A = this chain, B = another copy of it.
Amino acid sequence: MIRDFFLGFIKIHILYHASKAPVCGIEIIKELRRHGYSISSGTIYPTLHALERHNYLRSENSVVGGKRRRYYQITKKGLKVLEASRKKISELVEEVMEQTEIGN
């Protein structure tokens, strides 16, 4: 359930991080793992490709510590989508957050 939510949320999460600093696949995977979510590389990389195809991200190759990496940074279009997403998220989440008294 929570995983379901998160899987949908992942794209926005990537956009958010890319809005702070350039990100690459392996960093995202590791960061998520630190937070307790293990997302397959077979999900992350195609997702990054899709975000770039939509022009929300733009990438370039680079080399860090002798390792090849493809870094993605957010575009203006991506920033707008992130901003629009934030609005929708607060709407949607706010409602669900209203407590229901819970039995046991």
Residues on A lying within 8 angstroms of B by beta carbon are 1-2, 4-9, 11-13, 15-16, 19-20, 54, 56, 76, 79-86, 88-90, 92-93, 95-98, 100, 102-104
Contacts and interface: CB of A to CB of B under 8 A. Distances in A.
Query: How many protomers of this protein does the assembly include?
Result: 2
Contact of A89 (B13, B16, B76, B93): B93
Contacts of A90: 93, 97
Given A2-B85, A76-B103, A103-B76, A92 B56 contact: no
A16 B92 CA distance: 11
A90 B8 CA distance: 15
Nearest to A100: B19
